[in-house]
Amino acid sequence: MAEAQQDYIVVGAGSAGAALAARLTEDPNTRVLLVEAGRASHPVSRFPISFGLLIDNPAANWRYFSEPEPNTNNRSIPVPRGKLLGGSSSINGLVYVRGQPLDFDTWAQMGCRGWSYRDVAPVFQRMESYVKGGDEVRGGGGPLRVGEVPDENPIFDALFAAANHLGIKRNPDYNGPDQEGIVKTQTTIHNGRRMSTAHCYLDPARGRPNLRIVTEAHTTKVLLEGTRCVGIEYEQGGRRVKAMAGREVILCAGAVATPQLLELSGIGQPELLSSLGIEVKHALPGVGENFRDHLNARIVWRVKRPELSYNTRARGLGLLREALIYATSRTGFYSLPSAPMLAFLKTRPELETPDVQMHLVPYAVKNPKKRQLHEWPGMTISVYQLRPESLGSIHIRSGNPHDQPAIKFNFLADPIDQRTMVDGFRLVRSIANAAPMEPYRGDEHSPGVEVASDEQILDWIRRNSETAYHPIGTCRMGPQANCVVDDQLRVHGIAGLRIADASIFPTMPSGNTNAPSIMVGEKCADLIRQGAMAQAA
């Protein structure tokens, strides 16, 4: 079967792809086909609580797993990714972080012209509608509503006081020029509802005659004529469909699926492709390499005042009370992002900017994969290194597009990452153990105070940490030979093919990765429009 030809085909309607398709179709003369493997929606996705409900739900989630690796005790770690319109922005933890100016200046310094903080700050600004209003830094009129956690809890006050006790300041806006400090979380939540890119970008664009959205349509490869990309092939309801692009195909399938699609199409490392019986159409050794993620260590305490922990408040009849609180004030358990407080801190005073991030949560879960609450009142502080050095890879293991790719994190391979995680862990303990926390903090449940030496802490991190769900970098942007796209997001050596998603990040942004992914989608729309204008002139 064949689709009517469109100007652009966008593969993947996630954080970046939805923003890109919506921006491109603002021009009524530009026709876009947006192809999404997942469903149009999930009934609970608009509620923030869906973070816990969809984290392992096949109706909205790809549910990948990593390869067992010795650095993390040979565990196969769950890798959830959103599979519905809005992609991972429809199932994520709703924390909103731009990153540090240094991140984007580093990209520019690595040869990505047009990606310094000065270049991308206006893009962040135009995509946001920040609850406290716009100014010269923050956006006030963009499609993406950015709120701030309204909830209060004596544990939050105690955590702020504990941090202050250690000389850590409260930062009024960590998405401004200075990220450092302890903060209330800014969120992609407005009026108690999730602000996914499906809602903020696609809903207003759906009625446009120049935007065609197909869902439950699994793209299996890009179609090449020589070194030009001319379209894609996708499967939908047992049919195989060819869709041709008059101008370009843009892959926005995310850091796991975008390298997978390139490899299935014969673009990648020649030895790997040949070994799997895939004809090499274009050698590009960087595909699937440069993979990074945040390794997240969760430290859990019992809480002395049970009524303050959601392990007590959201149990039995408490769940009904929380539902009522949510219905009447859009606060409480059902309205929370994955963490209502964050901290961005330096593990060494000589550092220029923070190198670790903490998520501070007034409850404790048994099993991060299922996110079931413990029976007893708890609290959690997790920590990850903001800019890990260790590099992993994501590659196909067969030519079957429905086989999961082999995800190798290679976490903690670099000694700097080991050092930073241990130091970050100690910082977490110092906040939790500071005097202002005394009335609230009970015994340390995990790992427990007996885990005390650097070796014991590192060993515990290896055995227990999980991903913070931020895979990036597998189709790295840059001019070097191991890069996959140039600074215009065009695939090196292939005409008519771009990539716009978290796979193009050359290095890890300092924070959660939804905002920078949306920024990439927005920026790709600019690059395409500028290119088209230059051609027309």
Q: Which residues bind ligand FAD (CB under 6 A)?
A: 11-17, 35-38, 55, 80-83, 87-89, 91-95, 97, 218-219, 252-255, 257, 261, 338, 469-470, 501-502, 512-515, 517
Q: Which two tokens stand for residue 442?
A: 């009970």
If we measure between CA atoms, which residue out of 386, 357, 379 comes closest to residue 183? Answer: 357
What's the rounded Cα separation, in Å, for the pair 525 and 361? Answer: 37
Which residue's CB is nearer to ligand FAD, number 253 or number 295? 253
Contact 148, 520 (CB under 8 A): no
Least distance in angstroms from the C-beta of 205 to ligand FAD: 16
- Whichever of 162 and 407 has its CB closer to ligand FAD, that residue is 407
Given 199, 294, 395, 470, which residue is catalytic?
A: 470
470 has catalytic annotation: yes
List helix spans (H) across 99-250: 101-109, 117-127, 154-165, 197, 203-205
Residues 269/393, Cβ–Cβ less than 8 Å: no
Give me the helices (H) in 244-389, please: 254-264, 270-275, 310-313, 317-329
Smaller CB separation from ligand FAD, 108 or 336: 336
Exposed e or buried b per residue across 1-38, where buried means at least 16 C-beta atoms within 10 angstroms of its C-beta: eebeebbbbbbbbbbbbbbbbbbbbeeeebbbbbbbbb
HEC sequence for 132-154:
CCCCCCCCCCCCEEEEECCCCCH
| Cβ closest to ligand FAD, residue 66 vs residue 92 | 92
What is the DSSP code (8-state) at residue 202?
A: I
User: To the nearest whole angstrom, how small is the minimum distance from the Cβ of residue 261 to ligand FAD?
Assistant: 6
Least distance from C-beta 499 to ligand FAD, angstroms?
A: 10
User: CB of 146: closest distance to ligand FAD in angstroms?
Assistant: 11
Comparing every residue's Cβ against ligand FAD, the nearest one is 14
Minimum separation from the CB atom of position 500 to ligand FAD (A): 8
| Closer residue to ligand FAD (CB): 153 or 186 | 186
**Residue 261 φ/ψ, nearest 5 degrees:** -65, -40
Shortest CB 436 distance to ligand FAD, Å: 27
Q: Which residue has the tokens 């999930």?
A: 42
Cα–Cα distance for residue pair 326/315, rounded to 1 Å: 15
Looking at beta carbons only, is 45 or 88 nearer to ligand FAD? 88
Catalytic residues: 470
